[in-house]
Structure 1
Amino acid sequence: MATKTILVKLKKPTKKKHKQFIYEQKEFSNCVNDCVERIQNGEKISSKDVPFNLKSSIKNEAIRRAKKAVSDYRKGRATTIPIFKKSLGVKINNQNWNSIEKNGRWYIAFTSNMGKKALPVVETKDVQTFFPFLTQKKKGFRGTMELLRKGKHWYVAIPIQISSELDFEKKHKRIFENMKRQKSTSIGVDLGLGHIAVVSEPFSGKRQFFSGKEVGYMRRHFCSLRRSLGKAKALRVIKRIGKKEREWMKDYNRKLAKDIVDFALQFDNPIIKMEALDDIRKTCRSMKRADKTIHSWSFYQLKQFIKEKAAKHNIPVVDINPYQTSQFCGCCGHAEKNNRYGDKFRCVKCGYTCHADLNASNNIARSTSLAG
């Protein structure tokens, strides 16, 4: 599954609703800032402990946002903890909003302090395409929505789970085929286990390594928990642990995808190239036992997040034929299995040496062979 976020404009709300939404935005941002301070002080808080005039479900979203801000700071993903502004978008979980069709028109219904209200939207192609799948009965397609304001206008940012990206792929394959007629910068992304990702632009020599140690540690941690809980036959707790692990991986993948796209944005007209994923699982099976702890890591999910974030900046992402990308010498062009040993690359013909994953990333960036 892939995620597509659409921005839908609300038809001009009444003055009363406009005033109420501004008030809730302010309450939400104040709530997040208050929760950040309390979490830093070691408090464990729930919605009943939060003294703000918001629905409990929205308080819970504020707590999640605050926890993420503190976590990012503590893990070094952010240099400071931000002070959230009054214009912060209000998060509304998937159980508290849905689309409604009335007399051939589409509305968005969501929970606020005024109760659950249905507001008409400006109908676009996205609305016509996706709103039939966002009704009350089809919760599986909905994610956490965000209520936003731009000046006097109100919008909702809606994430949608979609199963097909055929049009997306066709569009970016056309871009790739026309790349020779344009001055584009190729960015290679090699996915693996020792390093989750290695990103490079071979002509400038810029590169970035993303270690797999944190992922490996968390996988082993959750695996150990499940083993001990299994002996105690705590089946419900095991289920919760599995959900927690998936959420952790999803959050990690989103952050990693952002870092990869940020790397690409350093260059003019970037195009991101990645190997087709068919052979990654086989590679995992050939790894040492210690490395198999991250065999189930969701490479596919990471790739979808990269595509999603790259699309926001109009950066095409294309699949490259993975044949011999890890064995090909970037210096003389000789390809042989013996060129690579573990994380070391040394060409048996010309003696060129390089980190094996960096060499593969550079080869992916230079490749013009699309995956079939």
Structure 2
Amino acid sequence: MQLTETVKLYPNKYQTELIKATMTEYISTVNHLVLDAINGRAITKITTADVNAALPSALCNQCIRDAKSIIRKYNKALRNSDTQVKLPVLKKMCCYINNQNFRISDDSIGFPVMINGKSKRISVKTKISKRQKSIFSSSKLGTMRIVVKGYDLVAQIVYDAKEDAASSNDNVMGVDLGIKCPAVSYCPDGSIKFYGNGRKNKYIRRHYNNLRKRFQKAKKPKAVVKTNNKEQRIMKDIDHKLSREIVNTAKAHDISVIKLERLQNIRSTTRTSRKNNHSLHTWSF
């Protein structure tokens, strides 16, 4: 299976400008390729020579792959939907670099950017924990994604991890997800367990939503971003603890398979109201 490790980058001012320019050009190139494909231009056989972008050839290749992936998902959504499907557009600054074009050392990550019209590799300082160093040195690395988190640049690095050996029995545990109760599990022996506190989660969401409104009225954008990031960290921690508790329950009952309901597009298909609209759209199922 593939997992991701996040590493914070510490570029100098010049490197920050280069990286952000690369990210902006990256999403612009992907969006142009997607638009060309929607308008009838075949992109299945195009190469970097056919792409007019101020990017290293490695990143141009990645742009082509991303555009093809977006188009495949868009065409699939068109086939499976009776209503109009919104054209996918990348908005957040990011760029993807494959494992052949970045290098990780003890305190830096090197990758190519465009400098004065030429592809050159820069080395950006970072802080990598001992655990991460062990993972990166012993695992096969995948794609690296550079994104903006708040006011920081971070690298999200995919790596292959070994899966635990699955149990050989046929025990299946069902898990039902909800808003009032985040999760309920049912085991073959008839045992039922409830996880989490939906009311507490809704209170946390409301609390930080009210804080953001107050900071927005006071015209404090930095405080809004800081509050949003704090809420996301808290909710991510809650979800992680719940998922760990579910897995521990499965292990305790010698479960080989966990089955969850399919909740894809639940927000667009569920009947909404002013009362539950916010809860539904902030539900991290």
Asked if Structure 1 and Structure 2 have the same fold, meaning a TM-score greater than 0.5 normalized by the shorter chain, the answer is yes
Structure 1 residue 26 and structure 2 residue 24: aligned? yes
Q: Quote the offset at 1:269 in angstroms.
A: 3.3
Secondary structure of 2:145 counterpart:
strand
2:7 partner amino acid: V
Does residue 81 of the first structure (1) align with residue 87 of the second (2)? yes
1:127 equivalent to 2:128? Answer no
Contact 2:99–2:144 (Cα < 8 Å) also in 1: yes
Counterparts of 1:118 and 1:81, CA distance in 2:
36
Q: Deviations over 1:241-285 (max 9, x none)?
A: xxxxxxxxxxxxxxxxxxxxxxx465633267899xxxxxxxxxx
> Contact conserved, 1:6 with 1:126, CA < 8 A, in 2?
no
Cα separation, partners in 2 of 1:322 and 1:161, compared to 1, 3 Å: closer
1:99 is matched with which residue? 104
Whether the aligned pair in 2 keeps the contact of 1:187 and 1:270 (CA below 8 Å) is no
1:116 match? 121
- Please name the residue that 2:73 is paired with: 72
2:280 corresponds to which residue?
none
Task: Pick closer, same or farther for the CA change 1:322–1:21 going to 2, 3 Å.
Answer: closer
Partner of 2:156: 157
Larger radius of gyration: 1
CA deviations on 1:127-157 (whole Å, 9 max, x unpaired) are: 33323336xxxxxx11011111224311100
Distance 2:112 2:238 in 1: 28
Measure, in 2, the Cα distance between the counterparts of 1:361 and 1:273: 10
For residues 29-68 of structure 1, what are the structure 2 equivalents within 5 Å? 29-40=27-38, 41-44=40-43, 45-68=46-69
Residue identity matched to 2:183? P
Equivalent pairs counted in the alignment come to 189
Is the CA contact 1:69–1:81 (under 8 Å) kept in the aligned structure 2? no
Contact 1:100 1:118 in 2 (8 A): no
CA RMSD of aligned residues (A): 3.6
Q: Which amino acid aligns with 1:81?
A: L
Q: Secondary structure at the match of 1:268?
A: coil
Q: Match for 2:183 among 258, 270, 273?
A: 270
Work out whether residues 30 and 67 of structure 2, in 8 Å CA contact, stay in contact via their aligned partners in 1: yes
The answer to whether the 8 Å contact 1:58/1:91 transfers is: yes
Distance 1:63 1:361, change over 3 A: closer
Deviations 1:213-260 (A, max 9, x none): xxxxxxxxxxxxxxxxxxxxxxxxxxxxxxxxxxxxxxxxxxxxxxxx
**Secondary structure of the corresponding residue to residue 58 of structure 2:** helix
Choose between structure 1 and 2 for higher RCO, CA contacts under 8 A separated by at least 6 residues: 2
- Provide the secondary structure at the position in 1 that maps to 2:93: coil
Q: How does 1:175-194 map to 2 (within 5 A)?
A: 188=174
Letter in 2 for 1:156: A
Q: Which amino acid aligns with 1:36?
A: V
The one-character-per-residue Cα deviations of 1:63-101 (angstroms, maximum 9, x if unpaired) are 22112222112112794232211x332000010012123
Unaligned 5+ runs, structure 2: 167-171, 189-235, 261-285
**1:26-51 superposed Cα distances (whole Å, 9 cap, x missing partner):** 10011011000112213232221111
Instruction: Output the CA distance in 2 between the equivalents of 1:129 and 1:117.
Output: 23
Amino acid at match of 2:27: S
* TM-score, length basis structure 1: 0.44
